[in-house]
Chains A and B, each alone.
Chain A
């Protein structure tokens, strides 16, 4: 059993290494153009450059990451701080929920980046605009998940709570709220994903710092390997943060619901 698993990993690794080697070979022999398909060696060199002297010169990958993460967190946390209480209130009143649902679906459906020109007109091309765009994208995803989390609490749990004489605010606090937590958590994870999607677009305007800006700058100079590094770093960041959140969920909600069924 164990041997088979090792073999599996070995094969996966061999496939990846083989693909990279073929790629490298393709560029060396001239079948692939390096500016279109920068080989692994170029990417590695690029990473050393960007980690030490920086790209554009003076801005290392670490400060790009820091800038991007800071922007995402600002927008994301603002969105959660707003979406959670608003969603809890809307979810508590079925009638209000019914009335607001079309508005929420409408707002959630607008691609966040399509708002970019308008937000720039309102708030300029500075930091605020980027944070607002992230917050917008995260907000609607979080809001609809908080509402759904409250609305779709298992009715049996509510009846059980009521059978002990609970009603109104006490019922909401003691039964509905804890029962809604897993789905709210799933919504929070999804909203963070949206933040990462929005950030790259938001950073393509009016800044030279941040991973999105890095990718745009690299494009201008045909430094495709830097673009790929930007992509990889965003991927790794998303993966690390998502894993961190999953671990946090296991600590905070040890009773083990996985919060499946949240929606984007």
Chain B
């Protein structure tokens, strides 16, 4: 837990308290001194500067910030889809060299393979060559059931609503049985009701499956509804501004005064 020592915060109500942990014990993701710039070193824009962040096992962490604060880039770096310019990312102590090291990714939208049915999209997620085809199908059906889509197994993505598509995307990411679930504004394109529904689904799955989740969003409400911790990123260059522990019992009510106080706190952090 080396993040944002200066940004460390305590809300008056005591709702946000810092949960201290030993640096080595149970840390799922450890990001050390990560910088990302595009173009030639020292010339291109710096998207992320000296990011230090440790995420504990089974923790639900949200990255919140304005556009351009590098939250998606940070997620992609954890996913192994992009390389940092300098610094290291470790997952359970192993340096991240690429995708497929225990990260599962859910993208914003339209990332399902349109030529595959819901079932086949999930089957695709099982990369383990030792599994037989029927094993994969059986497990894929279980995952579809987990996300409440058993009936839609044979539908193509274009035949599904945005909410259904994102449920399939979650099931597909879970097929890898990832230690870490990385989600890049997965509900950002959904209408409000579907969005809240999927947030509840996600919490249910997270509690059932015990995953570490890093969740990118620009919705403060969403971050507060879901997370154990909210990381505020500031733009130009992207850096960690605040690190807030959200110590509210779930399910969380938006009308809870502590929820409102935290919302205010984050709002101020983002607009400063």
Most-contacted residue by chain B among A154, A164, A167, A253 (CB, 10 A):
A164
Interface residues of A in 224-264 (CB under 8 A from B): 253-257
Any chain A CB within 8 A of the CB of B233?
Answer: no
Contact B111 A255 (CB under 8 A): no
A174 to B158, CA, bound (A): 19
Contact B113 A160 (CB under 8 A): yes
Any chain B CB within 8 A of the CB of A175?
Answer: yes
Contact A160 B105 (CB under 8 A): yes
The residues of B that contact A160 with a CB separation of less than 8 Å are 105, 107, 111-113
Name the residue of chain B whose CB is nearest to the CB of A254. B156
Given the known interface contacts A255-B158, A257-B114, the answer about A164 and B176 at a Cβ–Cβ threshold of 8 Å is yes
Any chain B CB within 8 A of the CB of A181?
Answer: yes
Q: How many residues of B contact A (CB 8 A)?
A: 25
Any chain A CB within 8 A of the CB of B110?
Answer: yes
Contact B124 A159 (CB under 8 A): no
Taking a contact as CB atoms closer than 8 A, the residue among A164, A175, A253, A256 that contacts B127 in the complex is A164
A188 to B149, CA, bound (A): 37
Any chain A CB within 8 A of the CB of B186?
Answer: no
Any chain B CB within 8 A of the CB of A29?
Answer: no
Contact A164 B124 (CB under 8 A): yes
Interface residues of B in 161-216 (CB under 8 A from A): 173, 176
Any chain A CB within 8 A of the CB of B98?
Answer: yes
Name the residue of chain B whose CB is nearest to the CB of A256. B158
Name the residue of chain A whose CB is nearest to the CB of B82. A159
Contact A256 B156 (CB under 8 A): yes
Name the residue of chain B whose CB is nearest to the CB of A178. B115
A166 to B126, CA, bound (A): 12
Q: How far is the CB of B156 from chain A (nearest CB, A)?
A: 5
Q: How far is the CB of A246 from chain B (nearest CB, A)?
A: 18
Given the known interface contacts A159-B81, A255-B158, the answer about A164 and B111 at a Cβ–Cβ threshold of 8 Å is no
Name the residue of chain B whose CB is nearest to the CB of A164. B127
Q: How far is the CB of B171 from chain A (nearest CB, A)?
A: 13
A223 to B183, CA, bound (A): 71
Interface residues of A in 143-189 (CB under 8 A from B): 154, 156-157, 159-160, 162-167, 174-175, 178-179, 181
Q: How far is the CB of A261 from chain B (nearest CB, A)?
A: 15
A179 to B98, CA, bound (A): 23
A156 to B79, CA, bound (A): 14
Contact B156 A156 (CB under 8 A): no
Any chain A CB within 8 A of the CB of B217?
Answer: no
Name the residue of chain A whose CB is nearest to the CB of B109. A156
- A-contact bits for B79-109, CB 8 A (1 contact / 0 none): 1010000000000000000111001110110
A254 to B103, CA, bound (A): 32
The residues of A that contact B173 with a CB separation of less than 8 Å are 163
A163 to B183, CA, bound (A): 12
Given the known interface contacts A156-B107, A159-B107, the answer about A164 and B115 at a Cβ–Cβ threshold of 8 Å is no
Given the known interface contacts A164-B99, A165-B99, A165-B100, the answer about A175 and B113 at a Cβ–Cβ threshold of 8 Å is yes
Taking a contact as CB atoms closer than 8 A, the residue among A162, A256, A257 that contacts B81 in the complex is A162
A160 to B112, CA, bound (A): 8
A-B pairs with beta carbons under 8 Å apart, 27 shown: A156-B108, A157-B113, A159-B81, A159-B105, A159-B111, A160-B105, A160-B113, A162-B99, A163-B79, A163-B81, A163-B99, A163-B100, A163-B173, A164-B125, A164-B127, A164-B176, A165-B98, A165-B99, A165-B100, A166-B127, A175-B113, A178-B115, A254-B156, A255-B114, A256-B114, A256-B156, A256-B158
List the interface of chain B (C-beta within 8 A of A): 79, 81, 98-100, 103-105, 107-108, 110-116, 124-125, 127, 156-158, 173, 176
Q: A156-B107, A160-B113 are known contacts; what are 12 more A-B pairs with Cβ within 8 Å?
A: A157-B111, A159-B111, A163-B104, A163-B105, A164-B99, A164-B100, A164-B124, A181-B115, A254-B156, A255-B116, A255-B157, A257-B114
List the interface of chain A (C-beta within 8 A of B): 154, 156-157, 159-160, 162-167, 174-175, 178-179, 181, 253-257
